[in-house]
Structure 1
Amino acid sequence: MKKNKRIAIRLSEEQKNKIIKLSEDDNLTMTDLIVNKIITDPPKKIFKLPLEEIEFINKNYSIIGDQINLIAKQVNIAKKIDNNTLIELNEVLKKLIIIKSKSNAIMQEVINEGKVD
């Protein structure tokens, strides 16, 4: 392929020296080193995590954990589980499933963002 186009970039002395060293170590020209790095090993995408959602999930995991512990304590004290406690536990577990689903959706996004086309 004919190389007849130029791109000028500005670097610090330190950056330039690093590129020179890398090109020498790999026995490549600086052009080939840079082009190969960009084309064959493209930079990874930066995925911005939805912090509000993560904070919501973490807060709710904590609340749900506290609720489950409270229910477990009540059952241990009473040495039995009544209908109301079962209903309460069921509601808490439903919340846990919703939160876990949101958490999984966020993780799937992170995984998908990391994939290279």
Structure 2
Amino acid sequence: MVFTLARTYLHGYNYQQIGSPPVYTINRTEEFDRWLARLADLKARAKILVRVRRAERGHFGDAKLLEDGVSEMRIDCGPGYRIYFARQGRMVYLLLCGGDKSTQSADIKHAKTMWAAIRKELS
């Protein structure tokens, strides 16, 4: 069986260059911003920010639902960075907190606590 492309794109094509509108509104916590600012690995920081921008457009990439409405985005860089988030409609409470593989269990527990507090505040 032979597969052919229906359309060919120029090298370097990027959906963001054509101005695709955001799908989600991203809310970042101060805690996440502090964590990101403290990251010494500039390459990792850049990759994380790219993932945030893609998530805004509905492309969460390597992500999975954990429990209690909290999901995890895995960043393939350095020690295995994680970003924890929750969605409510078109609002994404992305970036409840961040961490890496070594602190994963504690980070998940903390993200669940943060999401419960945010949900309570919203109701």
TM-score (norm 1): 0.25
Flag the structure with larger Rg.
Answer: 1
Q: Specify which structure has the higher proportion of strand.
A: 2
More RCO (CA 8 Å, sep 6+): 1
TM-score (norm 2): 0.24
